[in-house]
Each structure stands twice: as C-alpha cells, then as structure tokens.
Chain A
Amino acid sequence: MSLASSVLEGKRLALARLLSQIENNHPDGQAALGDLFPHTGRAQLIGVTGAPGTGKSSLVNRLAFYYRNPPEGEPQRKVAIIAVDPSSPFTGGAILGDRVRMRDLSGDPGIFIRSMAARGSLGGLAPTTASMVQVFDAAGFDIIMIETVGAGQAEVDIARLAHTTLVVEAPGMGDDIQAIKAGILEIADILVVNKADHPGVENTERALRSMLELAHPAPRIFKHHGHFERVESPQANPDRDEAWLPPIVRTIAIKGDGVPELVSAINDHQHHLVESGERENRDRARLQAELDILIQDNLVYRWRKSVSDAQYREILESLIARKISPHQAARDLMNGGHGT
C-alpha cells in the first residue's frame, strides 16, 4: 500500500514517515503529496507567533486541550501541531523543545505533535512547513496549529500560511515604540496578552490598543521575495461587513485562564473570513506564494547545475578582488559563467 493511502487511512507511523520525507525534500514525499493534495483544504489553520518566552507553546497546549475536551455542545476536533524552532546557522543542528510544554496532550490519539527545525529559513517557519500542513490536512486533522520560532519583528510568513494568526505578547517585553513598529503586530488577527497575572499587563494592553486604533483598517499587503502581494481589506467591498478589528484577549496559559474567550475570538474570526470572502482570498494568496517559491527554488537549482564550480569560483574571486561589482558578477553567472 502506498504511503499516501496509509496516511488517508489514519496510520500514524505512515504519517510520521511521510512528514520526514517532505521535510527532507525526498522525491517519494513529493509524489505522495501529489496524491494527497486533492484531499486538502478542509482544515482550519491557526498560526501562533510572538517573541521568545511569551508563552506560545503553553498556549498551544491549552488550546489543543480545549479542542480535544470541549464543553458540552461543542464538537471535539482532531488537532495537529507543528512547532518550529530555530536551526543553528553554523552547524545546522537544532534543539526542538516545544514538546516540554505540551505534555498534557500525550496519550491522546486525536493529537499529533511534530517539531520542525527552521533549516535556514528566516521567516519564522521552515521551508517545508506549508507542505507539512497539507499532509495533516489530508490526513483528516480538523485543526492545525502552527507555532513559529520565537519571532521578533519581521517573521511574518505565518500570516500567509494560517487562516487566523495569533500574536502573543507578554507584559514587560517592550515599550510603546515596539508596538508601533511595522511587522509582526500588523499580521495579528487576534492579539493575545499572555501572562496576564504579571505586573504591567494594563500598559501592554494599552500600547496594543493605541497601535490598533492607528493601524486599522488597512489593506493587507505582503512584501514577498521582492514583490508585493495585496490582500484587499474587507472594506474594499462596500457590500460586505465592516473590517475585522483584531480583538485583544488576555490569557494565563499555564492556568488555562482566558482560553475559552480565545477560542470564541478564533471562531468569530473564522466566521468573518468566510462571510467576507477573505478566507478564499487568503487561500489563493497562499497557494500563489507557494507556487512562486517553488518556481524560484527550481530555477535556482537548475541554474546552479548549469554553472560549473570552477566558473562560479572564478567569478566570485573577481568579485572579492573588486574587479567586478556584485551586480556584474550576478549578470555573468546568470549568463552561464561568461562575461557580458
């Protein structure tokens, strides 16, 4: 039986194996993904990002626990978690430690946690995170939570991947000026102030609120690999409801406080996405971005094979000797290693 059909049947070992093949860019994994892709598009994708130490993993733990053990009247859902941690830029090694905070979820067959190293990617996710999401989606997980590396200001890839992006803040981690910088706060669909029992929570919330009042509503434009992708704000269409204003939700993840409120904010956002047509927009933008990245990777790969190491080194040496400029060197290399 093929790996893809075992995954569709819910075999966990096959799922784990396929995730590795995808992560390693193995041709078999890519072939299996081709078989699985028609089964994707059903899962709800929730991104969780924020600075290191704000409590992202603990929050993911609690959210997943809620979805597995919902109150009366709410459906129980299968949850997959992808937790990304940084790779060392020097050795390529990584310590993936997010499971430490997710021990409440062990022993539950409706949960699957997978840790990923970022493997050189700078946007807060790994190069193959989007493909892994597709595998979980096809395998029948209702909710897929993606936890980014502890992100600072510019790691905004998650907004393109997830339907709903939670940006997690904690008291005492930055002053007002941090809140008005561009970047991570702008991608929030929901702002979470975690560790709400810590001093300074009012200040954090006030800074976020004033930032929101200035910033919204605005069209969402992603600068991506050098070109802009515009996702219209819901207001651009007068027939639709007003724009989404990111709510601010206070939580204390280690105790579970605020989690039901957070789930209800996520549900509201889901409704908003569907009603405004934004979910379709985001799905389109995501798949287009993925296509563009794959084309770029393939072009680079193909180009690299067309130039010999000797040619590459020769031009590199001319560059280092300052005989030619970086632009000239790139032109020469793109030209098959010959001077123009």
Chain B
Amino acid sequence: MSERKVRVLVAKPGLDGHDRGAKVVARALRDAGMEVIYTGLRQTPEMVVEAALQEDVDVIGLSILSGAHMALVPRVIELLQANDLTHVKVFVGGIIPDEDVPRLKEIGVVGVYGPGTLTEEIIQDVRLVVNGSSGA
C-alpha cells in the first residue's frame, strides 16, 4: 500500500521579481506527476532551506535571474549541509553565464538550465536523480 511521490521545492531566492519561468517549470513538474511546493518570490537562502526541511523534498529548483547566483546558490548548499540535508539535490534555472556553470556544478548543483530548455529535459533529469532512472 506504500506509494511515493517525488516532492520538489521550486523557489526564487533573491530580489528579482519575475517568476514566469519558475511557474512554467512548476507546472511541467506537476503534469509529470510530481508534488511541487511553490514558495513565491524573494526568498532568502535560509527560507528556502527551512522549507526544504519541513517539506522533506527530494529536489530544490532555484530560479535566479538577478545575477546573484554565485552568492545565493553556494549559501543554499552550505545551509543544506549544515542541516543534514545533503540528500536534497539542487537544480538551478534562469540567466546563468556559461562560465559560472562549471563552478556551480563543482559545489554540487546537479543541473543548470537556461532560456530555451525543454521542460521534458528537466523532468527527465529530476527523475534520474531521484529514482535512478528516467522512467515514470
């Protein structure tokens, strides 16, 4: 009788006020059968990690368009480690310059997605890191 759903936190840390992309991704993950916790705009890294803990999510998707990703993402990952949440995988979407992608991956980000990414690709990657396979 046991059944498990993939739980994803979609969060917008920082100060940019545009969440169309985050909502499209949230909707796509929902349509892929996942439970998506959406927390809204202007979250601090502390708020993101607190929500991830309380909601026991498998994955965090951070949407950042402000250019502050090299400050915000490392802080989120640091706080995840401090809270014993290293099993939570982090994805980043938004406007991320190419040269920052390897640096983000180095600190543990699983995937980085820019404009034009197909939602199908994100869904597959999430399934892959959570279930170890890209199937349903």
- Listed in ascending order, the chain A residues whose CB lies under 8 Å from chain B are 12-13, 16-17, 19-20, 24-27, 87-88, 91-97, 99-100, 103, 106-107, 112-115, 117, 119, 297, 301
Contacts and interface: CB of A to CB of B under 8 A. Distances in A.
Nearest to B6: A93
Contacts of A100: 38-40
B33 A103 contact: no
A99 B2 contact: no
Interface size class of B (residues with CB under 8 A): 20 to 34
B36 interface: yes
Interface of B: 1-5, 7, 26-27, 29-40, 43-44, 46-47, 50-51, 53-56, 83-85
Contacts of A93: 29-36
Nearest to B42: A103
B39 A26 contact: no
B30 A27 contact: no
Contacts, number: 89
A25 B3 contact: yes
**What 9 A-B pairs are tightest by C-beta distance, nearest first?**
A100-B40, A93-B30, A16-B56, A20-B56, A106-B47, A91-B33, A93-B33, A97-B38, A96-B37
B26 to A, nearest CB: 6
Secondary structure dominating the interface of A? mixed
- Give the interface SS of chain B, mostly helix, strand, loop or mixed: mixed
Contact of A91 (B4, B26, B31, B40): B31
A88 to B, nearest CB: 6
Nearest to A83: B37
A95 B26 contact: yes
Contacts of B84: 13
Contact of B46 (A12, A27, A106): A106
B30 A94 contact: yes
Contacts of A92: 5, 33
Contacts of B33: 88, 91-93
A301 B2 CA distance: 12
Contacts of B44: 106
A270 B48 CA distance: 35
Contact of A25 (B1, B29, B31, B37): B1
18 contacts: A13-B53, A13-B85, A16-B53, A20-B7, A24-B2, A24-B5, A95-B30, A96-B35, A96-B38, A97-B37, A97-B38, A99-B37, A99-B40, A100-B40, A103-B43, A106-B46, A107-B46, A115-B55
